[in-house]
Amino acid sequence: MVIGLDLCPFAGRAWQDQRVRCVQSAASSPLDLLDELQEELDLLTRAPEIETTLLIHPDALRDFLDFNDFLDSVDALLEAMGLTGVFQVASFHPDYQFAGEHEDSVSNYSNRAPYPVLHLLREASVEAAVAAHPNAEQIPANNISKLESLGLAGIRQLLADDSQGASEPQSPLRESSQSPSEGDS
């Protein structure tokens, strides 16, 4: 949905260039997830060919308020690793809700995903993309307009279609932190 609706005008290029790493976490607790996050940040530090990582964690932090609180730990980890200003982490969750917005507000869907996700981004890449975009400051407002034009029913239909694999792009950098036997259950 993000690439298909161009909600992030920078995502399509990285996806096409196969520079997006998608990792399904086996973590079931916040501490396990923090360990995996540290491993992914270490890898990104050593592997400049990977533009960005989506750390998908279906079994950890399913409650949005817990997830939102966890983001303080993410910031603390970045600081402890000396990576503040090098990487930033965007957050997505099935129940994402912006402060002051109603639960069913379409604007929340700009940060919703089928599972909780931590999106690890290189700060320099974000800065370069924003500098090259003619109206970067308008992206959030444009996204809300796009989502409002679809309406709640249209968004839910797109999500249902995506969950059936109708428009899921493929990336060769997909990986899982689960062993094959764990992933088969």
Q: What is the pLDDT along the chain (185 residues), one digit of tens a residue?
A: 888 888 887 888 888 889 999 999 999 999 999 999 999 999 999 999 999 999 999 999 999 999 999 999 999 999 999 999 999 999 999 999 999 999 999 999 999 999 999 999 999 999 998 898 889 899 989 988 999 999 999 998 888 887 775 444 444 444 555 433 344 33
pLDDT at 177: 53
d(CA 101, CA 15): 30
| Residue 71 CB contacts under 8 Å (≥ 6 apart), including other chains | 89, 91
d(CA 149, CA 49): 37
Please report which helix (H) or strand (E) contains residue 121, including its range. strand 117-122
pLDDT at 158: 87
pLDDT at 178: 44
Residues paired with 119 in a beta bridge: 54, 90
| Residue 109 CB contacts under 8 Å (≥ 6 apart), including other chains | 96, 147, 155
Query: CA dist 74 to 40, 92, 97, 174, Å?
Result: 12, 14, 19, 22
Tens of pLDDT, residue by residue over 20-71, are: 999 999 999 999 999 999 999 999 999 999 999 999 999 999 999 999 999 9
